[in-house]
Structures are given as structure tokens and as C-alpha cells.
Structure 1
């Protein structure tokens, strides 16, 4: 990093801001990342990168951990592993997991809309109240085709205390508690949306909800439930639920709808989609298994050729030198050859 003066950062105590003077960073990884971003996104990504970096540095383990690695590439790889672990830990800290989850969901949805050439737009409602007095339910609003009057409300609940809350099991005389049902109805009313959707993470979801759905679920007259896996970056169930909700928002007419028939149709579609996803998973697993088989075959072949080479040397000379024995024991040549083979197989 190049800086024009000794003190690059100034702390503004009154405004609670960090002020940074002009600076340059000479790092190939950083350069490549920002070089591939659209100009309009670079400032936001820089702020986000600094935020994530600060969160990582807040973990005392990072300095000790990185000091153990001397190789530059090794340091970067181990840093990535550590950042993943830190992200995982931070995710479970209630003070920030909700905010991070909502931001990632909005980012995923807007990228998904762009890929599908949809004019929809997702944005965070933040701390703004909706139609209901002092009520902030409905973390994300999606404007269908960019139309403010045609909205889908999304509530994010990464909290194991939230139960399904089926109306048949509801006891109106008990203390009010949030449930999937109540949050779906509340989000739709509070944000004046056509359809509502609630998102749970697989690592933070209550058993009654898991029993109802493992992926996507439709509750007639209430809304959709989608279970994602944010740690693996898998938001496919959210995409499925959103597109079904979008169809309802676009096509629902102001007539009396037979909710039972609608439920049958949507649940059959969800069943078919889940079957396709399961088949895709089986294919992916088979690909990985076949890769592992290929790698094991290559390992065995290389090891056999390597051993044959030293057997020939022994039969020709009647003995092996200490250096030969050391090389045979360590097998470094085989490891080097295998690295390229492994790389080729993984790229299949």
C-alpha cells in the first residue's frame, strides 16, 4: 500500500466516521476482483470488503493462525478457510446474522432477476415501518416488473424459536408469539403485497417447519415457506418459491378462488421441482464419485509404475543406495506427477 503521508486514517469522533486519504493498493487478487466489476458497483463492494475484513480481524485467532503460514499462496488459502469459519461463527451471532442474511438474499434475488431478464427489483425495507403502526415486518420488498403497486413481501427468520404456528393448533389465550403463519400474514398486510414469503435457513429452523417442508411449501391463503442453505450459498429453494409467488401475483384475479384446488396444483408443481432437484443432486454426486474413482485409479497406477522403476533399478544393481531408498520412501516424484492429473480430473 502506498500512502501520501504517515497517517493514512483519521478518526472523526464527532461524526463517528473513518476518514481515509487517497491511497493505492498493489495486489493482483484485489485488482482482478475490482477490474471485473462494473464501475457503478465498485464503491459499494469496497465498503463491503472493508466491513468483512474488519469482522475477520475482530477474531483474535486470525493473527496467530496466519503467522503459522510462510508460503504466500498457503497464507491466502488458509485465510479463505478462516474467513469461511469466521463467517460461519458470525452467522450464528444473533446481533448481525439477520442483517447479513437479508443483504445476501437481496443480492441473490437481484442477480437472479438480471439473469432471467426480469424487470423485478428487490430492496431492503430496513427500519422503515409499513402500513401497520410501528410494524417493520416484511424485511424485503420485491416489485414485480418494477411496479410499486404489485409487490411480494419477504420475511427472513433465521431463528429456531419460530414455529410453524398452524391456525388449527393456535391457542388465542396464550401470549402472542411470532410464527411462520403470523409472519406471512403480517408481512403481506404490513407491506400491502399480493403474496408473502418467509425464508428460513436449514441450520436455523424449528422442527415443526422442517416436518412441513424440506425445501419449499405453500400454505393456501397464507403464503410460501422457503428453506435455504446460506452457508453453502444455495438459494435455489428461494428462487422456486419466488417464481411461484410471482405467478400468483401476476395472474390472481379478483374472483373467489377455490384455495383447495390451488393448493393441489401448486403442491404438485413443488413436488415435481423437488424431484428434478433430487435427480440433479444424484447426477452431481455420481460425477464426484466417478472423479474420486478416477483419481484413485491414477494414484494406484502412478504408485505401481513408481515401484516398478525402483524394482528394475534394484534388480540391475543388486541393491539401492541410501538416496534411492529415501526417494522411494518419500515418493516426491509421484506426488508432483499426480498434482497435474488431479487438476485435470477436477476440471472435467
Structure 2
């Protein structure tokens, strides 16, 4: 049934059938177009699990205990995560997970955007595959956001001011962002790192979401916890830039101020959300700060969109942006509601 082709370095299977209710139900529920891809993914994960000694010991222990089925599923799921980070397959699986998350996110937000895996296809640059995912904004193939997934601790930030041109070429966040945008003819580029597989130079610069002027955006996710919220935030920022940026003589320094302040407020929200889970007694104070940060994020995003659309901000706009009286008035009402709560 199974033959090893040494010359082509591949496995060849013929006359293969399996009778298993769990497997049948899973594949029966999938669209026909997704079944081949999911079968290959199942083989990847299964082989990785069999390579782990603990797996064989676990299976022998529970093979005759039907009551442990749910626990076994949980352990297999946890082991899949652990093996994922040890494996060279992690890059392929990461791209798949990120594309799936984005498409589900687009559906939930009723956006017409599409996330498309580029697989092994080269882009505009000959023999260059940089840009793992292409997102077509509003379904427009001429308005694209390029996403590069780098689950690799060896990729540093690589800012241009510290680059030594005479050293051996290595991938950096800067180079991958520029390369992905050029190679996939994209309006904006975004690079995604995982918190457990990212260089310290990137974490120090961008704790959650980051913006590199004239280069692109950075998002740090936590796939072990299934937390892709930073990716959603970074993508929506990239989307705003792609949709609103015009061929104007933009004041780049002012753009940096707007985007970095917006990202600062977004990072505050992420920090505060963590505090909510860890400190129940301070929920009222945390809720106030969370609502304040959400208002600030919406306020800053409104001015960013205005700047991208008009190419500038009037003196009155800058005064209103600096003083933020509208945000203060809106927060007073929310603060009163939170204070009226007897318990959270």
C-alpha cells in the first residue's frame, strides 16, 4: 500500500481506504475543495506526534479505556502545539492558520476582503516567494496587502541605520516587509511573528503591534493561546492606509506621529485586557481605562483617516486633536455608568 520513492523523496500510497467514524465525520463535514489540504495537514501532525516518545506511551496506556477519549483528544491537541514549535513544518501550518483566521475575521466583520495563500508561487521578482499571504482589499486584485509570516527567532529587526552592507545577507523584519511589498505588488506590507518565536530586538521595539515608517507594520501574535487579536488590529491599520492613501505630498513626520500614537493606545488596550483577567478586584478601574483607550483609539483613527484622505490637517484640526475635548465629554458619561455598577 505504501512505497518510498527514494529518488523523488516522497511517499506514494495506493488503494488506501480507512473505516473510522471520527475520521469520516470530519471529512464529510468539509467542502470537497478543502479535503486534500486537510488530509495532508492531518498526516503532518500525525507523523510529528508519532515521532514523540510520549505519544506511543500514552496511546498504549489508554487504548482500552474508552472513557478517556475526551482527555486523549485534549492531550493530542496540546502535543500538536508543542510539536508544532519544534518542527520545520511550523511555517506552513502558521500560514494556513493565519489565512484561515483572517478569512473568518473578514466574514465576521462583513468585509469583502480575501486572504489568499501564495504557497510556492513566485512573485514579480524572479524566483522570489516572499509574501506568504495576499489580501485583496474589498475583493480588488489591484489593491493588495502582502503578509509575511516569520516564526523564526533568527529574524532580527534589521533597521537600516545599523545595517552592515558587507555582512552576509540575512532576513530581517525590514527586508521582509520591503521585499513582500515589492514582490507581490502590494500597497502595504505586514509581517507576523509569534510571541514564542520572535527575536528580542523586535519585542523590545514592538510589544504587540508596530509601525515602521515607509516600510510596513508588525504584529506579534500568540498562536499557542489562539490569540490573533494583534493581527486583526495591524491588518485594519494596514487596510485604512491602503484604502485612504493617495498620491499626495504627505508630511511623513506627521503620519508617523499619528500612527505611533494610535499604536501606543492599542498596546495599552492589550495590556489592560491582561490586567482584567489577572486582577478581578480592580475591574472597575481597569474598565474605565479600557473604555478610555478604546475612545482614544477611535479618536486617533478618525484623524488618521482624515489626514490620509486630505494629505494634511488644518490648524483647527490639530488644535482639536491636541485638546481632545470630544473624547473627554464622551468618557464622562461612560465613567458615570461604570461608577454606578454595584459589582462586576
TM-score (ref. length: structure 1): 0.72
Which whole-Å CA distance do the structure 2 matches of 1:288 and 1:76 have between them? Answer: 34
Structure 1 residues 211 and 270 mapped into 2: Cα distance closer, same or farther (>3 Å)? Answer: same
Contact 1:56 1:83 survives alignment (8 Å): no
**Correspondence for 2:56 among 63, 68, 76:** 63
**2:248 is aligned with 1:268:** no
Which whole-Å CA distance do the structure 1 matches of 2:126 and 2:33 have between them? Answer: 36
Which whole-Å CA distance do the structure 1 matches of 2:274 and 2:15 have between them? Answer: 47
What are the Cα deviations for residues 4-55 of structure 1, in whole angstroms up to 9, with x where unaligned? xxxxxx336679432455554334x974x56765676566545533443343
Contact 1:153 1:188 survives alignment (8 Å): yes
Deviation, 1:198, is 0.8
The equivalent of 1:18 in structure 2 is 13
What are the Cα deviations for residues 200-231 of structure 1, in whole angstroms up to 9, with x where unaligned? 11111111111101100001100001111111
Structure 1 residues 21 and 96 mapped into 2: Cα distance closer, same or farther (>3 Å)? Answer: closer
Which whole-Å CA distance do the structure 1 matches of 2:282 and 2:82 have between them? Answer: 27
Which whole-Å CA distance do the structure 2 matches of 1:47 and 1:207 have between them? Answer: 34
Alignment of 1:197-208 (within 5 A): 197-208=190-201
Which whole-Å CA distance do the structure 2 matches of 1:248 and 1:64 have between them? Answer: 52
**Correspondence for 1:89 among 83, 91, 106:** 83
**Correspondence for 1:72 among 57, 60, 66:** 66
The equivalent of 2:120 in structure 1 is 127
Q: Which runs of 5+ in 2 are unaligned?
A: 284-344
**2:86 is aligned with 1:100:** no
Which whole-Å CA distance do the structure 2 matches of 1:78 and 1:24 have between them? Answer: 20
Contact 2:124 2:184 survives alignment (8 Å): yes
Deviation, 1:102, is 1.0
TM-score (ref. length: structure 2): 0.72
Structure 1 residues 83 and 144 mapped into 2: Cα distance closer, same or farther (>3 Å)? Answer: same
**Correspondence for 1:210 among 195, 200, 203:** 203
Which whole-Å CA distance do the structure 2 matches of 1:53 and 1:160 have between them? Answer: 25
What are the Cα deviations for residues 42-79 of structure 1, in whole angstroms up to 9, with x where unaligned? 66545533443343233343221222235323244134
Contact 2:114 2:139 survives alignment (8 Å): yes
Structure 1 residues 51 and 178 mapped into 2: Cα distance closer, same or farther (>3 Å)? Answer: closer
Moved more, 53-62 or 204-213: 53-62
The equivalent of 1:278 in structure 2 is 271
Contact 1:151 1:192 survives alignment (8 Å): yes
Tell me the secondary structure at the aligned position of residue 68 of structure 2: helix
Which whole-Å CA distance do the structure 2 matches of 1:16 and 1:238 have between them? Answer: 36
Structure 1 residues 39 and 100 mapped into 2: Cα distance closer, same or farther (>3 Å)? Answer: closer
The equivalent of 1:307 in structure 2 is none
Tell me the secondary structure at the aligned position of residue 204 of structure 1: coil
**2:14 is aligned with 1:53:** no
Q: Which runs of 5+ in 1 are unaligned?
A: 1-9, 291-348
Q: Number of residue pairs matched?
A: 279
What are the Cα deviations for residues 247-270 of structure 1, in whole angstroms up to 9, with x where unaligned? 000010011211211111112222
Alignment of 1:110-125 (within 5 A): 110-125=103-118
Which structure is larger by alpha-carbon Rg, 1 or 2? 1
Moved more, 265-274 or 40-49: 40-49
The equivalent of 1:136 in structure 2 is 129
Tell me the secondary structure at the aligned position of residue 273 of structure 2: helix
Moved more, 80-89 or 172-181: 80-89
**2:268 is aligned with 1:239:** no
Which whole-Å CA distance do the structure 1 matches of 2:33 and 2:124 have between them? Answer: 33
The equivalent of 2:242 in structure 1 is 249
- Taking only aligned residues, the RMSD between alpha carbons, in angstroms, comes to 2.8
Alignment of 1:22-37 (within 5 A): 23-27=18-22, 31=25
